[in-house]
Each structure stands twice: as C-alpha cells, then as structure tokens.
Structure 1
Amino acid sequence: MLRRLALLLALAAPLAAAAGEVQVAAAANLAGPIQKIAAAFKRDTGHEAIVSLGSTGKLFAQVRNGAPFEVLLAADAETPRKLEAEGLARPGTRYTYAFGQLVLWSATGDVVDARGEVLRRPQGKLAIADPRVAPYGAAALEVLKALNLEEGWQPLLVTGENIGQAYQFAASGNARLAFVALSQVAEAGLVARGSGWVVPASLYQPLQQDAVLLQAGVHNPVASLFLAYLRTNAARAVLRAAGYKF
C-alpha cells in the first residue's frame, strides 16, 4: 500500500503545477471522514476534492438528471451497479471502499445499554434515515423486523432525508433514539459521544459501500487519482478510525 501511495504521488507530481479538482458525490454517512480525506488528498497531491453529501438514492437521482459529479461514494453496492448498467459510470472502476456499521444511539449517556435492550421498550421517538433512499435507513428497518419490534416502534418513527438528518433529530433532542452510522459518533472505531449499541451485523444486510468513476469524470485524471487515493493507507486510516471495516 505504501508503494501504491508513492506511485500515486509520483503520478500527481506533473499535475501539481496546475492543480485540478474533482467533484465527489458522497453518501451522508461519510460527512466527517470524507472531509478529512479530502484535506489529506489536497495535502498529498495538490488537488482539491469538492464534496457534495446526500442520501445515496438522492445522489443517484441527481446523477441521472445530469449533475456534474465525477466520482460517487455510495452507501451501498447496488447504486454504482445501476449507474454502470445505465451507462452513467465507467465499467471496471467500481470497487468496495468500506463496510459501514449501524448504531442505535442516544445523545444522552446511559440511555442505550450495551446490548440494545432499550429497543425492546418502545418510548419516545426513534429517528431513522428514509429507507427508500438511504441504505442505513433500510438497514434500521431490517433490525426492527429481525427483532420483531417493527410494529411497536412504527408510530414512534421519525424519518430523516438521510442519515445526517436522522443523527440531528437525536442530537437536538427531538428524538430520544436514532439509528445512525458508527462514523457519526465514533472515535478510534468506538462510540465516543452519548450512548450507543453497535448493532450486530447478523441483524441486517452488510452495508457494503462502493465507489465508482462517473462518466463526467472519465476525462479528468484528478477523478481517477482520487478514486485510487481512497485505497491508500492514509485514507483507510481515517475510515478505520470512523468505524468502517474492510
């Protein structure tokens, strides 16, 4: 991996005098780590990654409607596949950059116990991302169904447009609990704020997160460079600290 990074930097060197940029569409669960990765990318290559965040479903719709994104970092594997099938992404560029983890979280300490038993006592509001467009929201519903708790929580659910909004509902106190991405509340891979239960992976389909080069970025070498940079030790260290797995 270190050799790969050295090669990347060598390839970037001829472009440094005329630093470029890449338009990156990133799933909302990446809000914190992607900014750190973008800063490291600029430091190491001289190029700028301009990041737009949103639910994967909304980003998919924007790409289909002509948004000038050059790289997509999705919260699932299916969306990049669909874009390939529709001729909107470059075949052969798609790869899995991380696996996400789902957390039941409260902004208040000691509300969520280490086994998530609080989920079995429906009370207060429970925030989730819109499962129609956000893979983490779909995973949250899978957990409730797997535990036979969907009926009890259904009248108490509040739905955010994306995982970022679901987090805000809980962080502001408008919801007692929320299903969020570990990356939103983690330091060194562990829940570091409020109280949380890292949901066992057996309760939901793997949150396989794929990246792909979009057609708008095919002729932009900075777009391909950013995709490659995401696989370096520097980028993966940021993702690992945010709780992602590989």
Structure 2
Amino acid sequence: MNSTLDPVFAAGIERELMAIGTGRSRLRRRQRTMRLVTIAGGSLALAGVLTGAALLGGLPGQTTVTPFGETVSGSYTGTADVDLGQAPAGADRVILDITCTDGGDIEVPTKPGAGTSAAAVTWNCSDPIREDKTVRIKDGLLPADGSTSITVTADPGTQWTVVARYGSSTTKPWGVNAKGESYGVPNDNGVPDLVAAQATNGKVGYTRMTEQFAFKGEGYIKVYESDGETQIGWFPIGDPATLGDPPAVEK
C-alpha cells in the first residue's frame, strides 16, 4: 500500500492536490483518526485525488463550495492568527489562498473528515518541486466557538501571505448500485465502498475500497464500472513511470 499519501477528497488545490504522490507536489494532508484509522496513508487517497471535482465534475458525493462574506488578507512571518471576523450564518468552512516562496513548513487546520478528530494540510514553502507557490484550501477549519480567528502554523522566519473568506458547501449523495454498494468520491461523510478513479486508459470508474486496503507493495488495481463488477481499466499504485504497462483488461 502506498504510504506517501493521506486522505484527500475533491476540493481545493486543483493542480496541487491532483499531483500528490507524483514528482510535482509535496503537499500533505494529515488526519488524526478516531475510527477510519486504516485509511491514513493508504492508496485510497490517490484515487480520491485523481478524481477531484476540478478534473471530473459531477461525480456522486462531490462537494461544491460557495464563498461568501468579506475577504480578509494579510502578510505574516512564522505562526500567526488570521482574524476572519464573525462567521456569517451558514458558513461551514474557510477558503484560503496562501502564498509562500521560501522558508520552512506551513500548516493550515482543515475540517476533519468522518471519524476524525483533527486534520491539516502541510507543505514546505521552499520545496523546489512544487509548481505553484499559492495553495488554495477550500475546507479550512472554522474558528473555535467564541473566536473569529484561525491559527496558521509556520516555521520561524517563514514569510507568507493569505487571502481568506468564509464559505458554505453542499454535498451530493453517493450513488448506490444493485448490490447496495455506495460509489463516488470521499467527502465529509466518509468513504464509499467504490472510490472514483481514472484508469490509465483514461476511462473514469471506481476502485473497490477493500481491494485498496488489501493491496501490498506497488502495481495495479482494477477499475470498475459503478456496478463494482465490470472492469474497465487499471489504476496504478506507486510511480506509474516505473511500474511498466498494466495487464490487459479481462473481457
């Protein structure tokens, strides 16, 4: 199982999130779990990343984020509190664009997923492999009750700027196939039985969660239609550049 990735579902940093696990990104998402412990660090994350809303819109379980309220901005060095003002009625997240070009690690608290107690997105500002110096986060954690600020943690001396505002979201229900299995993209409600993925042949389908958990090492897992039975392609676990061609799809 690929241990370089953490659970990420559709939202947010389009190019960055879809590059996680490749040579183009060092963005990391961490979650401290209460129930879905086995998800952390699994290949499941890669399937979720490659089927983000920006790439394959309209998938079951997709979360749509709408910004509203006043925009705030500022420049900071090291760890700092960002005052967003009073949250408007209906706000369930914070949307942030954070830019940094050099320095150390920076971490932004995000909404925890189902079964988790805390979550965050972390990256290194000086990492030369990151293509974008601005990271967009669409699921930032709301200020704590009685507060109007969130804390962005950064290594001492790390300079960064932020543009932020509140947002609200709506989430489509997962689909359910004839066998009663849910299918779609991970969201705040958890992870469906069949997780959306794009096969190496370009076809969009679903990988079975149990097969992802059972997979060891690097290679390919099957991509199915939403029925969870009809195979339409293969999904790479590991670096596609070193895996070689996938097997032929069984007819």
TM-score, length-normalised on structure 1?
0.25
Higher RCO by CA contacts (8 Å cutoff, separation 6 or greater): 1
TM-score, length-normalised on structure 2?
0.24
Q: Say which structure is richer in strand.
A: 2
Q: Say which structure is richer in helix.
A: 1
